[in-house]
Amino acid sequence: MNDRLSKLQQDITLIELVDRVLNKGVVLAGDITLSVADVDLIYVSLRALLASAGTIDRLQLDTG
């Protein structure tokens, strides 16, 4: 149980990291930015880390 919870905490931490770096943080009117499609590409390449739906399912199984 403790191992599973600590793995879960790691997954959540990675999801939260990627969410912060890509979606939060200050934005100024820079002249070079990523397109929305580029950001989507990053999400695709990070899907192994993200797997957020699966993580939430497991969280509910663990605590339900």
Q: How far apart are CA 15 and CA 55, in angstroms?
A: 10
Token pair of 37, please?
């499609």
Position 2 contacts another protein (CB under 8 A) = no
Residue type, 53: A
Position 60 contacts another protein (CB under 8 A) = yes
Least Å from the CB of residue 39 to another protein: 7
Token pair of 40, please?
């989507």
Angle between helices 2-23 and 36-45 (to 10 degrees): 160
Least Å from the CB of residue 57 to another protein: 10
Chosen residue from 7, 16, 51, 54 binding another protein by CB under 8 A: 16
Least Å from the CB of residue 48 to another protein: 9
